[in-house]
Amino acid sequence: MTVAKLLNRKGADVITIQPSMPLGEVIELLEKHGIGAVVAVDGGHRIAGILSERDIVRGLSRYGPDVLSKPASAIMTKKVVTCSPKDRVIAVMEQMTNGKFRHVPVEEDGKLAGIISIGDVVKQRIAEIQLEKDALQDYIMAS
């Protein structure tokens, strides 16, 4: 399955921020939407960074509570690993596992086109395995 098909099923909406948004506001946004990361974009909807819960923990460790008044750009990951809608989900899952990150923005024509999480990938993989299991059971029962 491709990333495009996964996005068609789950939706391509992404909660985004401006890199200048204060970290305290970003945390409120994460909590409000029940998400673990946001993508920072510039005015042209180009990816400027990603800010995850892990980045926030590192920022708190490094700067203490004062980090909450700093802009997201102070602690966000600026070198963002992205994928394309044409990529295979299994390849992105491997990338996430090897890189030890849980969110991958989807980039198309240099702009943000969606985001997939490890939860999205695992859910899709479980569905594929279930289909394979059902097909094998049907084959065995028909024999």
What pLDDT does residue 82 have? 96
Q: Which regions of the chain are under pLDDT 50?
A: none
Q: Which of 125, 111, 53 is nearest to 82 (CA)?
A: 111
- Residue type, position 5, single letter: K
pLDDT of residue 89: 92
Cα dihedral: 58, 10, 7, 14 (round 10): -40
Give dist(CA 120, CA 23) in Å, integer: 26
Q: How far is CA 10 from CA 4, 78, 111, 116, 138, in A?
A: 10, 26, 19, 9, 28
pLDDT score at 13 = 87
One-letter amino acid of 103: H
Q: State the pLDDT at residue 137.
A: 83
- How much is the pLDDT for 12? 78
Q: What is the pLDDT of residue 134?
A: 79
Residue with tokens 């008044």: 69
Provide the pLDDT for residue 116: 94
Q: Would you state the pLDDT for residue 135?
A: 80
Q: Do the strands 16-17 and 37-41 form a parallel or antiparallel pair, or are they unpaired?
A: parallel
pLDDT in the model for residue 64: 94
